[in-house]
């Protein structure tokens, strides 16, 4: 979910695992030459989700990497199916109030929340997405500092690899 620290945690996790880090939002912006807010406003959510699917395919086409997806990526069935097939999924859970504090200090527009960044709207969006997020193999709290969260995820990934050596993602 937005405000959980996916990009910050993802960069740190990638360093811990010795992998590249890919942020699909950055791939989308680079490809479209427009901000995510502009894409939503000018093309609509459906077109944005198709771009997000393309960016996700691109992120998974190279060497294994830590990939940060936009919070709504799992709402698009084709993207959700792709990541379920190709990735070890991590859900960085965040308390709505903590996320909103972070988002209010961010310069990034959040089209799904609108300008108000209201707690009610955030909670409603989270309620819709949470069942999809809970499909992840690893679930951690993102309410604390990012370095310990990244280390906890790395520890759990290593544990899963020991239990399931056939998984190399």
Residue 168 lies inside a defined structural domain of this protein: no
Q: What is the pLDDT of residues 50-62, one digit of tens each?
A: 999 999 999 999 8
CA gyration radius, the chain:
15
> Rounded to an integer, what distance in angstroms lies between the CA atom of residue 142 and that of residue 22?
19
Q: In the 3-class helix/strand/coil scheme, how is 129-164 assigned residue by residue?
A: HHHHHCCCCEEEECCCCHHHHHHHHHHHHHHHHHHC
pLDDT at 109 (0 to 100): 66
Residue 138 lies inside a defined structural domain of this protein: yes
In terms of residue numbers, what domain contains 51? 6-163
Return the closest-CA partner of residue 150 out of 8, 2, 4, 54.
8
pTM for the model stands at 0.88
Which residue do the tokens 């965040």 mark?
94
* Average pLDDT over every residue of 136-164: 89
Residue 1 lies inside a defined structural domain of this protein: no
What the block records as the tokens of 151 is 């280390």
Q: What is the pLDDT of residues 67-103, one digit of tens each?
A: 999 999 999 999 999 999 999 999 999 999 998 888 8
CATH number of the domain at 33, please. Answer: 3.40.50.300
For the chain, how many structural domains are there in total? Answer: 1
Residue 76 lies inside a defined structural domain of this protein: yes
Average pLDDT, the chain: 90
* Pairing state between β 90-93 and 65-68: unpaired
């Amino acid at each position: 979910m937005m405000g959980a620290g996916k990009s910050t945690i993802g960069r740190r996790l990638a360093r811990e695992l010795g992998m590249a880090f890919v942020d699909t939002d950055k791939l989308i912006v680079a490809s479209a030459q427009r901000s995510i807010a502009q894409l939503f406003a000018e093309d609509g959510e459906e077109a944005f989700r198709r771009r997000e699917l393309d960016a996700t395919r691109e992120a998974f086409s190279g060497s294994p990497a830590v990939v940060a997806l936009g919070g709504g990526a799992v709402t698009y069935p084709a993207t959700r199916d792709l990541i379920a097939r190709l990735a070890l999924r991590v859900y960085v859970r965040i308390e709505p109030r903590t996320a909103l504090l972070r988002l209010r200090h961010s310069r990034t527009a959040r089209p799904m929340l609108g300008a108000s960044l209201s707690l009610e709207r955030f909670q409603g969006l989270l309620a819709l997405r949470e069942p999809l997020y809970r499909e992840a193999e690893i679930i951690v709290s993102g309410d604390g500092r990012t370095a310990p969260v990244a280390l906890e995820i790395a520890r759990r990934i290593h544990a899963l690899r020991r239990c399931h050596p056939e998984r190399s993602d």
